[in-house]
Structure 1
């Protein structure tokens, strides 16, 4: 029997918070492959989810704003996703549970092609779409709990049937922060003082950033606390899902991918939230556990666009059949441990704000191409991106990045090598 695949997608989770989830850390992270250099295709909820489902970078799928659902459907992108390929080419069952894309509230009866089971949250008011029928549950927390309950029921029912692919997309730890009674005091007073918080010398930053006022330090600490406490609830929920897989005998034949749609800035470089090209925003937690993948910590450059081709190859499909994908399958290096043929450089972009980022070696080159400004950091000596390398020859970085942000499919992947 073919292996099952589960994607767990969190919402606005900074990469560094993963280790504050003890059960997820011990049962998933330490038993899988953790990527220290995992990145969003675009660090913003809607465009990132479009990239995951289609293995297209934002310059390829064209959904540049956070109200992604309408253009995604209008452009026919929902007709060729990881789910439609699996349903057309394999005997895989498919199910989607939780948050889909921003803008779904304007199309509340929508059911995306390729998903046999569809339980999605609609907006943030507590409504859910169950296979095209809406139900009012009263709160986002209730809607998230409903989606999780339906996921676990789905997993239990799949125990004795064919292979399945499921997405569990939680709204945790997105604001507003409403941790359960059990965890709402777990991180009271937690310290928040990263080196880049309210960076003092902004002279090396793009001109539009230099006059930003400092963020409210107490507010940033409060948000950090809220995220950590909500993540304790998610930690319990991940453990519940893992328990179901073990109790139904499916854990040894199920691949689990744990990622976030984007990271989150909490005052670093005087910035708040996401969308920006710095590590706290563009970097995401990225973990894979599956049959034959030895536990490891990898420095391979991986992206959200790699989820779809990896899943298709697990299912026995050619990822490029019908349309060449922008991402790469992780399957071979995950099972062999040999990353020698993997990409050397990686693109991250924001087609809405007009910047693109090239990650290569220890360096990060950021081209604010619509503003005519750029930044270059060596993370080996400056991990918090406090000092852009002034006077550096950026021509050698701008050329490869410019070619990447206009390429797609095999041509894009060739440029990564």
Structure 2
């Protein structure tokens, strides 16, 4: 059956974990190959300035689930084991609108079996240290409850297998080695296999919302051998390093496999980037696999597809790794929307320059479903932008992340970015149009003094009244203790 009896569009949301905005070949990346995603972008709408306002897994997913800004949803940093108690969620509102809702893969909510409005979840969040605490009295049974992929892997390949078999850390972005089992057993393949199984078992009288949520290319960097071979001998350019980077300090972190800041030997960095790009190409092929099966089921033409990432990965830019930072590699994400049916009247093959954020996903998908958008949603539907209209749009977004001495805030419109490190008071200003790699800090340039004041005032307005006390008498206050979770959701 090609569509539900309601005539509403099915919705397929692809999310990946820790994929940089520029790692699509259609974006001009010199190395990575993503033909299936490129085709979606060529037929749909590609966004040039999409961001995760709080770029790590939990707060980014809170924005997707709730449509709220980080100030509203309360997650302004990374903190595990804080219960999710939101009245309105994306899958919950779609379920109310008559959709059959399913998530496969990573949710990263708490408790881990919290459905958050889904009818069902098939779960693989990746390796979580708090779930693996072997001092817990019921370790084995608890782990079985947390991870459907690991249970499946042991049933399929043998009880001796575990997520640690390769010896790679789940937060290491600097080392890689190929996947050691048959490719069909990789979690990326499993995520698509389970998504296909949902298509087989879905309620044919309802439209569906399927969230296919990949853990990769988040580390461990463990691509199947065939994909690693695509990139392992490719000559890699040097990553950008800004004029503001402390090279001596970077050298001190060079040999820690899970470093956040370190000048990594080029050979090791190139292998890590090869593994990272290989994981992205692997995902691209598996996206193509799922789309082919949707065509076989007669579902493709009536399914609207959105692809994005929860945040990026610095991957050596300015000698930084991982996420939680305000720079483009960490906070900027791929974002593309495709409507095969043509019902939504998109300007196919167009690109949108307006700044969008993960909070815009919920109102966009509810708009597609002709479902009401709850009043507490801060995001905006991007459909008018996709249709070539010129709606009133936000002037900028405010992003932040509690991150110890690197706790940061930023405001950007995709052309200018202002950054403030709350613990040191360091300011940075970048002209992203002329300097997309953020190599030249303009904060101390006399030519940009008025621009610096303007953008600092935007951040001051955003932080006014915050419980941390970041603003006093209209000025930013340095050294106020950051918190990962605001008190109103505890």
TM-score after normalising by structure 2: 0.73
Q: Are positions 1:388 and 2:452 aligned together?
A: no
Which deviates more, 133-142 or 277-286?
Answer: 133-142
Deviates more, 1:353-362 or 1:363-372: 353-362
Q: What is the Cα deviation at residue 5 of structure 1? A: 1.2
Distance in 2, matches of 1:219 and 1:339, equals 47
| Two-structure CA RMSD over aligned residues (Å) | 2.8
Partner residue of 1:2?
Answer: 8
Check conservation: 2:231, 2:274, Cα contact below 8 A: yes
Three-state SS of the structure 2 residue aligned to 1:119 is: strand
- State how far apart, in whole Å, the 1-side matches of 2:378 and 2:148 are: 31
> How many angstroms apart in 1 are the aligned matches of 2:190 and 2:11?
21
Matches within 5 A, 1:311-322: 311-319=365-373, 321=374
Instruction: Decide which of 85, 88, 100 is 2:93's aligned counterpart.
Output: 85
Matches within 5 A, 1:296-375: 296-319=350-373, 321=374, 323-334=375-386, 336-352=387-403, 353-360=406-413, 362-375=415-428
Question: Structure 1's 350 and 131: CA in aligned 2 closer, same or farther, altered over 3 A?
Answer: closer
Aligned partner of 2:122 in structure 1 is: 119
The match for 1:44 among 46, 51, 56 is: 56
**What is the SS of the residue equivalent to 2:428?**
strand
- C-alpha distance in 2 between matches for 1:114 and 1:406: 33
Selected match of 2:460 from 399, 402, 409: 402
Give the CA deviation at 1:30: 1.4
Deviations 1:193-240 (A, max 9, x none): 24514x4x33xx6xx888332333222211110011112221111001
| CA deviation profile, 1:56-92 (whole Å, cap 9, x unmatched) | 2223222344344x2142xx13x4211112223x111
1: CA distance, partners of 2:338 / 2:76: 31
Structure 2 residue ranges without an equivalent (≥5):
1-6, 26-31, 133-142, 154-160, 164-184, 252-262, 467-490
Q: Determine helix, strand or coil for the equivalent of 1:183.
A: helix
| TM alignment of 1:171-190, pairs within 5 A | 171-190=215-234
Describe the shift of the 1:134–1:190 C-alpha distance in structure 2 as closer, same or farther (beyond 3 A): closer
| Structure 1 runs of 4+ with >6 Å offset | 125-128, 130-134
Write the deviation string for residues 5-59 of structure 1: whole angstroms up to 9, x where unpaired.
1111111111221213433234312111111111112111221111111112223
Q: How does 1:54-73 map to 2 (within 5 A)?
A: 54-68=66-80, 70-73=81-84
Question: Which of 141, 144, 151 in structure 2 is aligned with 1:135?
Answer: 151
> Is the partner of 1:170 in helix, strand or coil?
strand
TM-superposed deviation, 1:161: 2.6
Looking at structure 2, the residues matched to 282 and 98 of structure 1 have their Cα atoms a distance apart, in angstroms, of 22
Structure 1 or 2: more strand by fraction: 1
Matches within 5 A, 1:219-230: 219-230=268-279
Contact 2:221 2:279 in 1 (8 A): yes
Give the distance between the partners of 1:288 and 1:85, measured in 2 at CA.
Answer: 20
Please give the alpha-carbon distance, in whole angstroms, between the structure 2 residues aligned to 1:171 and 1:82. Answer: 20
Measure, in 1, the Cα distance between the counterparts of 2:425 and 2:294: 51
**Distance change (3 Å), C-alpha of 1:370 and 1:317:** farther
Q: Secondary structure at the match of 1:274?
A: coil
After superposition, what is the alpha-carbon deviation per residue over 1:148-186, rounded to whole angstroms, capped at 9, x for unaligned?
A: 212112124448432111111101112122222332311
Change over 3 Å in CA distance of 1:129–1:8 after alignment to 2:
farther
| Cα distance change, pair 405–191 in 1 and its aligned pair in 2 (3 A) | farther
- Secondary structure at the aligned position of 2:230 is classed as coil
Q: Which has the larger radius of gyration?
A: 2
Contact 2:123–2:148 at 8 Å: present in 1 too?
no
SS at match of 2:410: strand
Query: In the TM superposition, what is the alpha-carbon distance from 1:376 to its structure 2 partner?
Result: 0.7
Give unpaired runs (5+ residues) of structure 1.
409-417
CA distance in structure 1 between the aligned counterparts of 2:150 and 2:219, rounded to whole angstroms? 23
How many residue pairs were aligned? 390
> Which stretch shifts more, 119-128 or 298-307?
119-128
